[in-house]
Structure 1
């Protein structure tokens, strides 16, 4: 990988360590130490998700306009401030302000980093290097490694329980993001100056045109809908899987082990799976193959749950994770072909925001469906990724590419 790609992969790793050291334990802190009711806890958690996923499109648009560097730096600074605020928040309104700050910070730095790693992967491919999906698979593996280690760090810091331990976890998360902020301020390259037309007042017109181009592109919208089916299915790790473990074993004690299994499989398997799949399939075919595996995850659970619920849960986790390892890098790699490099930030943010809206709208019906016992809910959920499989747009042939924006850099490391 190039030095910039290594920096971005390391960034995703650090982001997830800091995030997962705190957020998995937020609900317990809100309901326990702060004594908030269940409705308020659910509201706060939903607000965090909306302030992050729902506002990705804002961070993506800002990235296209100002470049990734300032957006990443501001996002990291907000995440530090949000975690420090959350560490000392004692009232519902203070908690809400801190959680919104934490979420909006990710809505800035995540689309900036994701779009930049896609650009860098494209540059490497165009220069005759390895496939762009390889860089993006490593990016996903870096994030999953952080997701694997973050909860371990959080559980160590929370050992003994209590508000003081949660405060320590929040401050540790803030410290991680402070280090990330310092590293990016030193190493992340500056983008080139804006063009003369933009400097003379054409920025608003350019942004309006970018919005119309991305959101008016039928192929992009089809990809967003297909990706929504993946995201809806993936969220069942947090909804359907715990419910199935409760039914089968009477507890959720195995849930942490299954999450660790998912993260470990991504970390160890992303590179070989990408080599095997990308060498034989185009990017749209990789997405379809991943969605097919995800559909099989639900179908296998429906078939196995009557025999052994724990094995059903393990097979669901494994097949869903394998599908994720195909869908994520291939989707990110397909975005530059649909949106162009100059609108990649907006496209990355819009993909997440549109998918988030679909998942939010489907959350209540899926929750009601899972209240019914038997294989029927799992078989119905197996249909969802199959719908996405049909929606994946074909790869455009012989499309002229926009040139990647030139860069000016501060350090020879990136020249």
Structure 2
């Protein structure tokens, strides 16, 4: 029997990412409104449900990556789809807070199983062919750039589908989401090749004699990789400000929520139009310089936000400085996320298929989630103190700019002697909704 065509498998995974994002963004952006208007939950309950969904996904990425290594990517991806279907079905059946909370946790857990397995499987296709140029070599574009584009298309088309279905109620959007994920599951069941044999048990998870992590948790013992993940997590914290401090800044300027939608549209348009050329530029620069340049752009975005900030209720406020902040931030994000994800296989002790790359991708995502959790908590307190004591309105942006500058300076040092510097620098901007 001839081996499966890797190009066909890559196309299948890219199509799955597109449909998976459509199903996610057709429902989740409207969840808070539906819980409040259709089911009468208060703000505290809604916040807890949304927070539980995010934490169950970000906090379980490492676990999902470990399962991908133990089960194989195919089984982990299919399980992730089924768990998300179960989560949406629970939300559809919910009429009180406990079921909404359970549905949100299952929805997040499905993403935590799906994304690390898909990224680790695609990373094999991103490796250079034997005797050929690396993924970053001339004439060969990384597969990850197409994952970026398909993921962003799903993030744009999903809300359009959700908005069209909301006229029939939130249950209609949930039913459409279930149908979308069922379609993905059937497609992947028939199209993905069978996983290779699972690794042996025993010392694979924990060394019984010492209690120390075995090969399955080798990523936690790789100190250089942990430092890399902690610094790189600044990228996710920075991108998350589109959901946190940017809306606060719009509120200070007296601009309504319609402008926030316009800013998200700007971010999507820039990603779809510029991901290819930005990735090509990063490939020519090399990973160290690309990381420095990306974080310098992020620092410049936050410096712009600080310098142009206004006190609450300022008259004649313009949206242009906020648009400039978002545009520069997205340019940096397009350069950073690809570089970070493409460098992860180089930290593996062995480049083989069973080297545990799912856990490495999972740890990187989990560190980003921790950075968002801790960073946003600190920023929230700083925003409150700034308003209470009438500090300079740009104060909350300064720590973000300083963190970006620290990452720009430190990451090239961490990458010195990087095992396999195959600088493919194209990867998804929004692969783990």
The corresponding residue for 1:346 is 359
- Is the CA contact (8 Å cut-off) linking 1:76 and 1:109 kept in structure 2? yes
The corresponding residue for 1:181 is 185
Aligned with 1:291 (options 280, 291, 295): 295
Gaps of 5+ in 1: 402-415
| Paired positions, count | 393
Cα deviation digits, residues 42-69 of structure 1 (max 9, x gap): 1111111111110011110011112100
Does residue 370 of structure 1 match 2:383? yes
User: What is the deviation of 1:5?
Assistant: 2.4
- Is the CA contact (8 Å cut-off) linking 2:295 and 2:405 kept in structure 1? yes
- Is the CA contact (8 Å cut-off) linking 1:244 and 1:309 kept in structure 2? no
- Is the CA contact (8 Å cut-off) linking 2:270 and 2:330 kept in structure 1? yes
Measured in 1, the distance between the counterparts of 2:346 and 2:291 equals 15
The corresponding residue for 2:406 is 387
Cα deviation digits, residues 58-87 of structure 1 (max 9, x gap): 110011112100011111011112112212
Does residue 157 of structure 1 match 2:176? no
- Is the CA contact (8 Å cut-off) linking 1:78 and 1:102 kept in structure 2? yes
Cα deviation digits, residues 246-278 of structure 1 (max 9, x gap): 222331211111111111211221111111221
Does residue 248 of structure 1 match 2:253? yes
The corresponding residue for 2:427 is none
Provide closer, same or farther for how the CA distance between residues 177 and 127 of structure 1 changes in structure 2, counting only shifts above 3 A. Answer: farther
User: What is the deviation of 1:396?
Assistant: 5.0
User: What is the deviation of 1:39?
Assistant: 1.1
User: What is the deviation of 1:190?
Assistant: 1.7
Greater Cα offset, 166-175 or 134-143: 134-143
Does residue 315 of structure 1 match 2:320? no
Greater helix fraction, Structure 1 or Structure 2 = 1
Provide closer, same or farther for how the CA distance between residues 127 and 67 of structure 1 changes in structure 2, counting only shifts above 3 A. Answer: farther
Measured in 2, the distance between the counterparts of 1:29 and 1:12 equals 26
Measured in 2, the distance between the counterparts of 1:101 and 1:398 equals 37
Measured in 2, the distance between the counterparts of 1:329 and 1:126 equals 24
User: What is the deviation of 1:98?
Assistant: 1.1
Does residue 148 of structure 1 match 2:156? yes
Ranges of 4+ aligned residues in structure 1 off by more than 3 Å: 123-130, 201-208, 304-309, 393-401
- Is the CA contact (8 Å cut-off) linking 1:245 and 1:309 kept in structure 2? no
TM-score of the superposition, structure 2-length normalised? Answer: 0.85
The corresponding residue for 1:302 is 306
Cα deviation digits, residues 210-265 of structure 1 (max 9, x gap): 25531121211111111221111111100111111122233121111111111121
SS of residue paired to 1:370: helix
Measured in 2, the distance between the counterparts of 1:36 and 1:138 equals 40
Aligned with 1:335 (options 332, 339, 344): 344
Does residue 4 of structure 1 match 2:9? yes
User: Could you say what the CA RMSD is over the residues aligned between the two structures, in angstroms?
Assistant: 2.3
Gaps of 5+ in 2: 1-5, 311-315, 388-392, 422-433
